[in-house]
Amino acid sequence: MSGPPERAARLVRWYPRAWRARYGEEFTELLIAELAERPRSPSRTADVIRGGLVARLADAGLCGGAPQAPELARAQARAGLASLACCAAVFLGVGGAIWSQLVIGWQWSAPDTAGTAVATFVMTGTVLVLALLALLAALPVAWTVAVRLAHGQARGLAVPSALFLAGLAIMIVGGRHFGNGWPGTGGHPWARTGLVPGGVAAFSWASTLWVTSFWAHPAALAAFPAAELTWMALSPLALACLVAGAATAIRRAELSPALLRFEGRLGAAACVTMAVFLGGGCAWITGRTPRPGSLFHPGAIDVAGLAVMALALGVACQAARQSRRGPA
Protein backbone atom coordinates (compact mmCIF):
# COMPACT_ATOMS: atom_id res chain seq x y z
CA MET A 1 0.00 0.00 0.00
CA SER A 2 1.38 3.45 -0.92
CA GLY A 3 2.10 6.10 1.70
CA PRO A 4 0.82 9.69 1.96
CA PRO A 5 3.51 11.19 -0.34
CA GLU A 6 2.65 8.80 -3.19
CA ARG A 7 -1.10 9.24 -2.71
CA ALA A 8 -0.71 13.03 -2.55
CA ALA A 9 1.34 13.01 -5.77
CA ARG A 10 -1.40 10.98 -7.48
CA LEU A 11 -4.12 13.37 -6.36
CA VAL A 12 -2.20 16.45 -7.48
CA ARG A 13 -2.10 15.04 -11.01
CA TRP A 14 -5.80 15.93 -11.34
CA TYR A 15 -4.68 19.56 -11.68
CA PRO A 16 -3.33 21.07 -14.92
CA ARG A 17 0.39 21.61 -15.40
CA ALA A 18 0.29 25.39 -15.06
CA TRP A 19 -1.58 25.13 -11.76
CA ARG A 20 0.87 22.49 -10.48
CA ALA A 21 3.81 24.72 -11.41
CA ARG A 22 2.40 27.44 -9.16
CA TYR A 23 0.74 25.56 -6.29
CA GLY A 24 1.90 21.95 -6.73
CA GLU A 25 4.55 21.81 -3.98
CA GLU A 26 2.59 23.50 -1.23
CA PHE A 27 -0.63 21.68 -2.16
CA THR A 28 1.21 18.35 -2.03
CA GLU A 29 2.51 19.22 1.45
CA LEU A 30 -1.03 20.03 2.59
CA LEU A 31 -2.33 16.73 1.18
CA ILE A 32 0.48 14.75 2.85
CA ALA A 33 -0.41 16.30 6.22
CA GLU A 34 -4.12 15.67 5.62
CA LEU A 35 -3.53 12.06 4.57
CA ALA A 36 -1.32 11.42 7.60
CA GLU A 37 -4.03 12.76 9.91
CA ARG A 38 -7.03 11.16 8.18
CA PRO A 39 -5.91 8.38 5.81
CA ARG A 40 -9.40 7.67 4.42
CA SER A 41 -11.78 10.45 3.39
CA PRO A 42 -13.85 9.95 0.22
CA SER A 43 -15.26 13.48 0.51
CA ARG A 44 -11.73 14.93 0.56
CA THR A 45 -10.77 12.87 -2.50
CA ALA A 46 -13.94 14.04 -4.28
CA ASP A 47 -13.17 17.64 -3.34
CA VAL A 48 -9.63 17.43 -4.76
CA ILE A 49 -10.87 15.79 -7.97
CA ARG A 50 -13.59 18.42 -8.37
CA GLY A 51 -11.04 21.19 -7.74
CA GLY A 52 -8.71 19.64 -10.32
CA LEU A 53 -11.43 19.45 -12.95
CA VAL A 54 -12.48 23.05 -12.28
CA ALA A 55 -8.84 24.12 -12.60
CA ARG A 56 -8.60 22.22 -15.90
CA LEU A 57 -11.75 23.89 -17.22
CA ALA A 58 -10.36 27.27 -16.17
CA ASP A 59 -7.06 26.38 -17.85
CA ALA A 60 -9.00 25.69 -21.06
CA GLY A 61 -10.78 29.03 -20.73
CA LEU A 62 -14.15 27.34 -20.18
CA CYS A 63 -14.91 28.64 -16.72
CA GLY A 64 -13.71 31.47 -14.56
CA GLY A 65 -14.27 32.80 -11.14
CA ALA A 66 -13.53 35.93 -9.29
CA PRO A 67 -11.98 38.83 -11.24
CA GLN A 68 -8.31 38.17 -11.70
CA ALA A 69 -5.06 40.05 -12.12
CA PRO A 70 -4.81 41.48 -15.69
CA GLU A 71 -2.06 39.07 -16.74
CA LEU A 72 -4.02 36.00 -15.57
CA ALA A 73 -7.23 37.37 -17.09
CA ARG A 74 -5.53 37.78 -20.47
CA ALA A 75 -4.13 34.23 -20.28
CA GLN A 76 -7.63 32.95 -19.54
CA ALA A 77 -9.05 34.99 -22.44
CA ARG A 78 -6.45 33.43 -24.77
CA ALA A 79 -7.33 29.97 -23.43
CA GLY A 80 -11.01 30.72 -24.09
CA LEU A 81 -10.25 31.74 -27.67
CA ALA A 82 -8.18 28.57 -28.19
CA SER A 83 -11.04 26.40 -26.92
CA LEU A 84 -13.45 28.34 -29.12
CA ALA A 85 -11.24 27.62 -32.14
CA CYS A 86 -11.24 23.89 -31.30
CA CYS A 87 -15.04 23.81 -30.91
CA ALA A 88 -15.54 25.76 -34.14
CA ALA A 89 -13.30 23.24 -35.93
CA VAL A 90 -15.37 20.30 -34.65
CA PHE A 91 -18.56 22.15 -35.59
CA LEU A 92 -17.33 22.96 -39.09
CA GLY A 93 -15.83 19.51 -39.63
CA VAL A 94 -19.19 17.85 -39.03
CA GLY A 95 -21.25 20.74 -40.43
CA GLY A 96 -19.12 20.83 -43.57
CA ALA A 97 -19.95 17.16 -44.22
CA ILE A 98 -23.69 17.84 -43.94
CA TRP A 99 -23.53 21.04 -45.98
CA SER A 100 -21.46 19.50 -48.79
CA GLN A 101 -23.92 16.59 -48.97
CA LEU A 102 -26.75 19.09 -49.60
CA VAL A 103 -24.94 21.35 -52.09
CA ILE A 104 -23.56 18.39 -54.02
CA GLY A 105 -27.08 16.94 -54.13
CA TRP A 106 -28.24 20.27 -55.61
CA GLN A 107 -25.68 19.82 -58.40
CA TRP A 108 -27.70 16.85 -59.61
CA SER A 109 -31.26 17.94 -58.88
CA ALA A 110 -33.11 20.76 -57.14
CA PRO A 111 -34.32 19.96 -53.58
CA ASP A 112 -37.76 18.31 -53.57
CA THR A 113 -38.95 20.06 -50.40
CA ALA A 114 -39.06 23.77 -49.58
CA GLY A 115 -37.54 23.02 -46.15
CA THR A 116 -34.46 21.45 -47.71
CA ALA A 117 -34.04 24.37 -50.11
CA VAL A 118 -34.37 26.97 -47.33
CA ALA A 119 -32.02 24.98 -45.07
CA THR A 120 -29.41 24.75 -47.84
CA PHE A 121 -29.64 28.48 -48.53
CA VAL A 122 -29.34 29.30 -44.80
CA MET A 123 -26.39 26.94 -44.30
CA THR A 124 -24.63 28.25 -47.41
CA GLY A 125 -25.03 31.83 -46.23
CA THR A 126 -23.69 31.03 -42.79
CA VAL A 127 -20.74 29.11 -44.26
CA LEU A 128 -19.83 32.28 -46.15
CA VAL A 129 -20.12 34.40 -42.98
CA LEU A 130 -18.11 31.87 -40.96
CA ALA A 131 -15.38 31.83 -43.62
CA LEU A 132 -15.21 35.63 -43.46
CA LEU A 133 -15.11 35.63 -39.64
CA ALA A 134 -12.39 32.95 -39.66
CA LEU A 135 -10.32 35.04 -42.05
CA LEU A 136 -10.77 38.19 -39.96
CA ALA A 137 -9.83 36.28 -36.81
CA ALA A 138 -6.85 34.45 -38.30
CA LEU A 139 -5.11 37.36 -40.04
CA PRO A 140 -4.16 39.47 -36.97
CA VAL A 141 -3.12 36.37 -35.00
CA ALA A 142 -1.02 35.13 -37.94
CA TRP A 143 0.52 38.60 -38.25
CA THR A 144 1.36 38.72 -34.52
CA VAL A 145 2.95 35.26 -34.66
CA ALA A 146 4.85 36.08 -37.87
CA VAL A 147 6.25 39.30 -36.37
CA ARG A 148 7.41 37.45 -33.27
CA LEU A 149 9.04 34.75 -35.37
CA ALA A 150 10.70 37.40 -37.53
CA HIS A 151 12.11 39.10 -34.42
CA GLY A 152 13.58 35.84 -33.18
CA GLN A 153 10.95 35.40 -30.47
CA ALA A 154 10.06 31.97 -31.78
CA ARG A 155 10.15 30.31 -28.35
CA GLY A 156 7.01 28.20 -28.04
CA LEU A 157 5.58 29.40 -31.35
CA ALA A 158 7.71 27.64 -33.99
CA VAL A 159 6.38 24.12 -33.36
CA PRO A 160 2.65 25.05 -33.25
CA SER A 161 3.10 27.23 -36.34
CA ALA A 162 4.77 24.35 -38.19
CA LEU A 163 2.02 21.99 -37.02
CA PHE A 164 -0.66 24.38 -38.25
CA LEU A 165 0.99 24.90 -41.64
CA ALA A 166 1.59 21.17 -42.14
CA GLY A 167 -2.04 20.35 -41.29
CA LEU A 168 -3.29 23.15 -43.55
CA ALA A 169 -1.10 22.03 -46.45
CA ILE A 170 -2.26 18.41 -46.14
CA MET A 171 -5.93 19.46 -45.98
CA ILE A 172 -5.63 21.73 -49.04
CA VAL A 173 -3.62 19.31 -51.17
CA GLY A 174 -5.66 16.25 -50.15
CA GLY A 175 -8.99 18.06 -50.36
CA ARG A 176 -8.17 19.37 -53.84
CA HIS A 177 -6.86 15.98 -55.00
CA PHE A 178 -9.91 13.99 -53.91
CA GLY A 179 -12.32 16.82 -54.75
CA ASN A 180 -11.04 16.82 -58.32
CA GLY A 181 -12.30 13.29 -58.75
CA TRP A 182 -15.87 14.45 -58.22
CA PRO A 183 -17.83 14.52 -61.55
CA GLY A 184 -18.90 17.94 -62.81
CA THR A 185 -16.15 20.12 -61.40
CA GLY A 186 -13.40 19.21 -63.85
CA GLY A 187 -10.97 20.22 -61.17
CA HIS A 188 -11.99 23.87 -61.37
CA PRO A 189 -12.82 25.30 -57.95
CA TRP A 190 -15.22 27.89 -59.36
CA ALA A 191 -16.98 25.68 -61.96
CA ARG A 192 -20.64 26.56 -61.42
CA THR A 193 -23.00 23.62 -61.50
CA GLY A 194 -25.33 24.18 -58.53
CA LEU A 195 -26.09 26.48 -55.64
CA VAL A 196 -22.36 26.96 -54.97
CA PRO A 197 -19.35 26.47 -57.24
CA GLY A 198 -18.90 22.74 -57.82
CA GLY A 199 -15.23 22.79 -56.91
CA VAL A 200 -15.96 24.37 -53.52
CA ALA A 201 -18.64 21.79 -52.77
CA ALA A 202 -16.35 18.96 -53.86
CA PHE A 203 -13.48 20.32 -51.76
CA SER A 204 -15.73 20.48 -48.67
CA TRP A 205 -16.96 16.96 -49.39
CA ALA A 206 -13.41 15.61 -49.82
CA SER A 207 -12.14 17.41 -46.69
CA THR A 208 -14.87 15.85 -44.57
CA LEU A 209 -14.87 12.40 -46.15
CA TRP A 210 -14.08 10.90 -42.75
CA VAL A 211 -17.47 11.99 -41.34
CA THR A 212 -19.32 8.95 -42.62
CA SER A 213 -21.44 6.06 -41.41
CA PHE A 214 -19.26 3.71 -43.47
CA TRP A 215 -17.06 3.30 -40.36
CA ALA A 216 -19.92 1.19 -38.95
CA HIS A 217 -19.93 -1.03 -42.05
CA PRO A 218 -16.41 -2.48 -42.44
CA ALA A 219 -17.40 -4.73 -45.36
CA ALA A 220 -18.59 -1.76 -47.42
CA LEU A 221 -15.58 0.26 -46.32
CA ALA A 222 -13.22 -2.44 -47.55
CA ALA A 223 -14.51 -1.91 -51.09
CA PHE A 224 -13.20 1.68 -51.09
CA PRO A 225 -9.99 2.41 -53.05
CA ALA A 226 -6.91 2.22 -50.82
CA ALA A 227 -6.00 5.87 -51.50
CA GLU A 228 -9.44 7.04 -50.40
CA LEU A 229 -9.29 4.93 -47.24
CA THR A 230 -5.87 6.34 -46.44
CA TRP A 231 -7.21 9.85 -46.91
CA MET A 232 -10.19 9.11 -44.64
CA ALA A 233 -7.76 8.12 -41.89
CA LEU A 234 -5.18 10.83 -42.59
CA SER A 235 -7.46 13.87 -43.01
CA PRO A 236 -8.83 13.92 -39.43
CA LEU A 237 -5.25 13.68 -38.15
CA ALA A 238 -4.24 16.58 -40.40
CA LEU A 239 -7.24 18.56 -39.19
CA ALA A 240 -6.28 17.78 -35.58
CA CYS A 241 -2.71 19.02 -36.27
CA LEU A 242 -4.08 22.20 -37.85
CA VAL A 243 -6.41 22.92 -34.93
CA ALA A 244 -3.89 21.96 -32.21
CA GLY A 245 -1.26 24.18 -33.84
CA ALA A 246 -3.66 27.12 -34.10
CA ALA A 247 -4.95 26.71 -30.53
CA THR A 248 -1.44 26.45 -29.07
CA ALA A 249 -0.24 29.48 -31.05
CA ILE A 250 -3.23 31.50 -29.79
CA ARG A 251 -2.46 30.51 -26.20
CA ARG A 252 1.24 31.33 -26.48
CA ALA A 253 1.15 34.48 -28.61
CA GLU A 254 1.06 37.59 -26.45
CA LEU A 255 -2.01 39.14 -28.06
CA SER A 256 -2.69 42.73 -27.03
CA PRO A 257 -5.81 43.51 -24.95
CA ALA A 258 -7.34 45.33 -27.95
CA LEU A 259 -6.76 42.32 -30.19
CA LEU A 260 -8.17 39.99 -27.54
CA ARG A 261 -11.32 42.13 -27.37
CA PHE A 262 -11.57 42.09 -31.19
CA GLU A 263 -11.14 38.31 -31.30
CA GLY A 264 -13.69 37.91 -28.50
CA ARG A 265 -16.28 39.88 -30.51
CA LEU A 266 -15.58 37.76 -33.59
CA GLY A 267 -15.96 34.65 -31.43
CA ALA A 268 -19.36 35.82 -30.20
CA ALA A 269 -20.42 36.56 -33.80
CA ALA A 270 -19.20 33.11 -34.84
CA CYS A 271 -21.32 31.49 -32.11
CA VAL A 272 -24.44 33.31 -33.36
CA THR A 273 -23.64 32.29 -36.95
CA MET A 274 -23.05 28.68 -35.94
CA ALA A 275 -26.41 28.68 -34.13
CA VAL A 276 -28.09 29.84 -37.37
CA PHE A 277 -26.25 27.11 -39.30
CA LEU A 278 -27.43 24.55 -36.76
CA GLY A 279 -30.97 25.89 -37.12
CA GLY A 280 -30.72 25.29 -40.88
CA GLY A 281 -29.53 21.73 -40.27
CA CYS A 282 -32.38 21.07 -37.83
CA ALA A 283 -34.89 22.49 -40.34
CA TRP A 284 -33.60 20.01 -42.92
CA ILE A 285 -33.76 17.05 -40.53
CA THR A 286 -37.17 17.84 -39.03
CA GLY A 287 -38.84 19.14 -42.21
CA ARG A 288 -41.01 17.07 -44.52
CA THR A 289 -39.11 13.92 -45.44
CA PRO A 290 -37.84 14.02 -49.02
CA ARG A 291 -39.20 11.32 -51.34
CA PRO A 292 -37.53 7.87 -51.18
CA GLY A 293 -34.24 7.73 -53.07
CA SER A 294 -33.84 11.51 -52.92
CA LEU A 295 -30.30 12.85 -52.72
CA PHE A 296 -31.45 14.98 -49.78
CA HIS A 297 -32.67 12.16 -47.56
CA PRO A 298 -31.18 12.64 -44.05
CA GLY A 299 -29.65 9.63 -42.31
CA ALA A 300 -28.78 8.65 -38.75
CA ILE A 301 -25.24 10.02 -39.25
CA ASP A 302 -26.75 13.46 -39.97
CA VAL A 303 -28.83 13.38 -36.77
CA ALA A 304 -25.75 12.31 -34.80
CA GLY A 305 -23.76 15.06 -36.54
CA LEU A 306 -26.27 17.71 -35.47
CA ALA A 307 -26.05 16.45 -31.87
CA VAL A 308 -22.25 16.75 -31.96
CA MET A 309 -22.56 20.24 -33.47
CA ALA A 310 -25.02 21.31 -30.74
CA LEU A 311 -22.57 20.10 -28.09
CA ALA A 312 -19.65 21.87 -29.77
CA LEU A 313 -21.71 25.05 -30.04
CA GLY A 314 -22.61 24.92 -26.34
CA VAL A 315 -18.96 24.65 -25.32
CA ALA A 316 -17.98 27.32 -27.88
CA CYS A 317 -20.51 29.77 -26.38
CA GLN A 318 -19.08 29.16 -22.90
CA ALA A 319 -15.53 29.67 -24.23
CA ALA A 320 -16.59 32.87 -26.03
CA ARG A 321 -18.15 34.21 -22.82
CA GLN A 322 -14.96 33.53 -20.86
CA SER A 323 -12.73 35.01 -23.56
CA ARG A 324 -14.68 38.28 -23.41
CA ARG A 325 -14.49 38.50 -19.61
CA GLY A 326 -10.71 38.60 -19.57
CA PRO A 327 -9.16 41.58 -21.33
CA ALA A 328 -9.77 44.92 -19.65
Partner 1 sequence: MATDKALDGFGRYAGPATLILASLADGAKHGYALTKDIESFAGVRVAPGTLYEALARLQAQGLIEPVESHDRRRPYRLTEVGAATLRAQLDAQRRVADVGLRRLAQGWGPA
Helix 158-180 with 198-207: angle, nearest 10 deg: 120
Nearer Cβ to partner 1 (72/227): 72
**Interface ranges with partner 1 (CB under 8 A):** 23, 25-31, 33-34, 43-44, 47-52, 54-55, 65-69, 72
CA neighbor of 147 nearest in space, from 259, 239, 270, 264: 259
In the complex, what is the shortest distance from the CB of residue 232 to partner 1, in angstroms, rounded to a whole number?
43
Nearer Cβ to partner 1 (49/162): 49
Q: What are phi and psi of 196, to 5 degrees?
A: -125, 160
In the complex, what is the shortest distance from the CB of residue 104 to partner 1, in angstroms, rounded to a whole number?
49
In the complex, what is the shortest distance from the CB of residue 192 to partner 1, in angstroms, rounded to a whole number?
55
Nearer Cβ to partner 1 (31/98): 31
In the complex, what is the shortest distance from the CB of residue 262 to partner 1, in angstroms, rounded to a whole number?
25
Handedness of CA 181, 186, 189, 191 (dihedral sign): negative
CA-based end-to-end distance of the chain: 50
Nearer Cβ to partner 1 (23/224): 23
Nearer Cβ to partner 1 (36/158): 36
Q: What is the DSSP string of 261-277?
A: HHHHHHHHHHHHHHHHH
Q: How far apart are CA 57 and CA 284, in angstroms?
A: 34
Q: How far apart are CA 309 and CA 210, in angstroms?
A: 16
Nearer Cβ to partner 1 (51/140): 51
In the complex, what is the shortest distance from the CB of residue 195 to partner 1, in angstroms, rounded to a whole number?
49
In the complex, what is the shortest distance from the CB of residue 5 to partner 1, in angstroms, rounded to a whole number?
11
Q: How far apart are CA 279 and CA 184, in angstroms?
A: 29
Bridge partners of 197?
A: 192
